[in-house]
Chains A and B, each alone.
Chain A
Amino acid sequence: MKIVISLEENNGLDSTASTIFGRCPFFMTIDPTSMAFEIIENPARQASGGAGIQAAQWVLNQGAATVISGNLGPKAFDVLSAGSAAAYRHEGGSVTDILKAFEEETLECLLAPNTSAHTGTL
């Protein structure tokens, strides 16, 4: 199982998670069983348009079945749900905090986009 988490920074398991999806600075892909992870710069961050779509496409290309982020716009949500990836919303904190909440099943599972388009645009 592979989970993608949107991050504010590249600081291992202590990284602060980002509430932005499409234009967050970094993504972590992590296997919660082995805790093996990788952090990469978000390839969609500088997209002139459609960052959410591109980021969601990247998530699916990683073979991830779960995304944990803060706010998910309508287009990103459409791509993830078409690819059968589940999306969860975190309340802030470090990767360790968020994975703990995920294990305890206290994270909210998003059944619809929870923000409008372009929310993450600077």
Chain B
Amino acid sequence: MVITIASGKGGTGKTTVAVNLAYMIAQDAQHPTWLVDCDVEAPNAALFLKPEFIEEKSVERLLPVINHDLCTACGVCVRACASNALAIAGGKVLFFKELCHACGSCALICPESAIREEPELVGEMHKGYSGPLHFAQGTLEVGFSSPTPVIRSLKKWILPEQSDDIFILDASPGTSCPVVETMRGSDFVLFVTEPTPFGLHDLKLVVALNEKEFNLPAGIVINKSGENDALIAQFAQEKRLPILMRIPLSRHFAEAYSSGILLAEDSPALGGDFIDLFHKIKLHATKEKT
């Protein structure tokens, strides 16, 4: 079972929920459990779970290299490029690496076979353990703007086609390509939000993304829960999204978080709530499937 933790807005507690949920499921020891940090631009789950890495792998993309001796500057590759990464000027093809999406079209279509592809390092992946919990993360190389290939490779490396293991995927904030790539193929998506107008606004965006792209069974966790919860509850009711857990706004939790302490370890009662959350997710994921 694959559960994606998403939020729309950053700073709502997505990683907090992901690491605590994964930690508690693993402690429960009923299923082999994985935490996969797919926020490859800023992976931070490791700060809380302090994993020991045992294996690493690099992620590469293939970039075109133009052989100017063979190139006749016919312009076929320029027209084939959907990313405007190629131009033809002064009888020569120019290549702009920053715009290239590494689709390979130019190399395929070149009638003179003047384009070959060479690998470029775009990220790294690590896997290991944090106690009984399996842990994996991807890291985008500094200076690169597209995290999607790293997320795709990470999921390919870690997630088998069929498995009874539990995989908790920590997505990046927002609603753009990296979040779509993380959610793809999941069995359930858990939206972590906060009861503020900003939290609600971005929750609406990520809920709309799920409705449009995948329509995965979904539920909500309200973090920093308190007197303004109605803001979220009203929207949840409209969308028929269950509120599966509330984590109270608490200075103590904020202090524990800022010291890299797992809330579930710090507060056994809250730990129990995460186990409840997991059972509710299982229920909703299977109920909505049938």
Contact = CB atoms under 8 A, between A and B. Distances in A.
Interface of A: 44, 47-51, 53-54, 56-57, 60, 75, 78-80, 82-84
Interface residues of B, number: 12
30 contacts: A47-B84, A48-B83, A49-B83, A49-B84, A50-B83, A50-B84, A50-B96, A50-B99, A51-B84, A53-B87, A53-B96, A54-B84, A54-B87, A56-B89, A57-B78, A57-B88, A57-B89, A75-B96, A75-B99, A78-B96, A79-B89, A79-B94, A80-B89, A82-B87, A82-B89, A82-B90, A82-B94, A83-B89, A83-B90, A84-B90
A82 B73 CA distance: 13
Contacts of A50: 83-85, 96, 99
Chain B contact surface mostly: mixed
B92 interface: yes
A38 to B, nearest CB: 22
A53 B85 CA distance: 8
B87 A57 contact: yes
Interface string B53-92: 0000000000000000000000000100001110111101
Contacts of B94: 78-79, 82
Contacts of A80: 89
Contacts, number: 43
A54 B89 CA distance: 12
A54 B82 CA distance: 11
A60 B90 CA distance: 9
Nearest to A80: B89
Chain A contact surface mostly: helix
B139 to A, nearest CB: 24
Contacts of B87: 53-54, 56-57, 79, 82
B151 to A, nearest CB: 19
B84 to A, nearest CB: 3
Contacts of B90: 82-84
A113 B170 CA distance: 41
Interface in B67-125: 78, 83-85, 87-90, 92, 94, 96, 99
